[in-house]
Amino acid sequence: MATLIELERNGVLTLLDPGLGSREQEERRIYLSKRALEWLQNKLPQVGATWNTEVSPTEQLDALFYLFCSGQTITYDWRFKPLRSVELGIWELKTADIRLFGWFPIRDQFVASGIGVKRDIIAHKLYPGYIGECARFREQLNLDEPKFIPGDDPNVVVSNFDFP
Amino acid sequence: MSSFQISISPSRRVAARFIEGVRRALQKALAEEERENGVTQADIARRIGVNRSVIHRELRGHRDITLGRLAELAWAMGREPSFSMPKIRNAEGANHPGTLGVVPTAEVSGFMTQADGRNYSFVASTSAQTFPTEA
């Protein structure tokens, strides 16, 4: 069994660099599975925006990673949650166009197992597939027990979640 | 140890983080108004003469927010929009690798003030960006 840091050192997971400024502290971390990493490297640059807006999907994700890793308040309102509990201790990080599926082994440490485009996930009903893939990856991962924080309370999995 | 960073130009990084930061400040202000004064999204839409769905799409990132709309939303929530562009401070002592030149670019921040003078930050700033520089 191994810790997140050991899995990263062994190349099983890749740590996301959120590109914080020189005076900013990384308060939360995101680790990427190989599948998630490949998606970011190969698929993301080709994803077109669903909405005719200035901020592209790539830029949306950069802003989301910045928000999450810099430790800023995650949400203020039930309608605009960039973090949502799905099921089985699996959570999704959200932008207007992109969904990341993963879980929290410990508070403020998110492991992303799969990433997809919102319109495709909804149009092709892919939520069960992403959830199942995430659960299987988590089960197979040689991670110290307990492998994830159960439940759906955001205040348990992240600090600074400003909503009941 | 390996890490991955999204490939994005420094200027677009600043722009996207600023835009999303402004949007989040609006979401926060709306949540506070609803909680404290019972003002709804529909009320705000009515005050500025648009359909509620327009406001909803703007706040969810499904539609761009113009500077004019930002001011309208602030007004409809009883707040005063404000904006500032302080100069980047010297990056001396930064944690960035020393192999790249550290070039101050732009720090963009702003705030909305409530009528009673309370400040609501929508700061979306980067203090310095690294660029390869000529020797």
Q: Do B8 and A59 touch (CB under 8 A)?
A: yes
H or E element in which residue A122 lies? helix A118-123
Domain spanning B8-76 has what CATH number?
Answer: 1.10.260
Is B39 in contact with B77 (CB distance < 8 Å)?
yes
**A105-A107-A110 Cα angle (round to 5):** 55
Nearest CA in chain B to A16: B4
pLDDT at B93: 55
CB nearest to B128's CB, from A14, A21, A96: A21
Residues of B in contact with A112 (CB under 8 A): none
- Give the chain A residue nearest B61 (alpha carbons): A96
pLDDT of residue A77: 80
CA B64-B66-B70 angle, to 5 degrees, is 110
CA B15 vs CA A68, A74, B32: distances in Å: 17, 20, 26
DSSP states of chain B as a string? --EE-----HHHHHHHHHHHHHHHHHHHHHHHHHHHH---HHHHHHHHTS-HHHHHHHHHTSS---HHHHHHHHHHTTEEEEEE-PPPPP-TT--S-TTSEEE-----EEEEEETTS-EEE-----S-EEE----
Quick one: pLDDT at residue A95?
95
Q: Please name the member of A11, A41, A53 whose beta carbon is closest to the beta carbon of B2.
A: A11
pLDDT at residue number B112 = 57
- Main-chain dihedrals φ then ψ at residue B15, nearest 5 degrees: -65, -50
Helix (H, G, I), strand (E, B) or coil at A69: helix
Given a cut of 60, whether residue A125 has pLDDT beyond it is yes
Q: Are strands B3-4 and B109-114 parallel, antiparallel or unpaired?
A: unpaired
Confidence (pLDDT) at B92: 53
| pLDDT at residue number B116 | 46
Cα separation, A130 vs A127, in Å, equals 5
pLDDT digit string, tens, across residues A48-107: 888 889 999 999 999 999 999 999 998 878 888 899 999 999 999 999 999 999 999 999
Residue A150 Rama label (left phi>0; alpha psi -120 to 50; beta): beta
Q: Range with the lowest mean pLDDT among A2-16, A38-52, B97-111?
A: B97-111
Which of left, alpha, beta for B91 (phi over 0: left; psi -120 to 50: alpha)?
alpha
CB contact under 8 A, A22 and B24: no
State pTM to two decimals: 0.83
SS3 state at A126: coil
H helices present in A14-113, as ranges: 34-38, 57-69
Distance, CA of A158 to CA of B14 (rounded, Å): 25
A8, A56, A79 ranked by CB distance to B1: nearest: A8
**Does residue A30 sit at the B interface (CB-CB below 8 Å)?**
no
Q: What is the pLDDT of residue B127?
A: 39
**Residue ranges for chain B with pLDDT beneath 50:** 97-110, 115-135
What integer pLDDT is reported at residue B105 of this predicted model?
Answer: 38
Distance CA B108, CA A41 (A): 29
What ipTM, to 2 d.p.? 0.91
For helices B67-76 and B10-37, angle between their N-to-C axes, nearest 10 degrees:
20
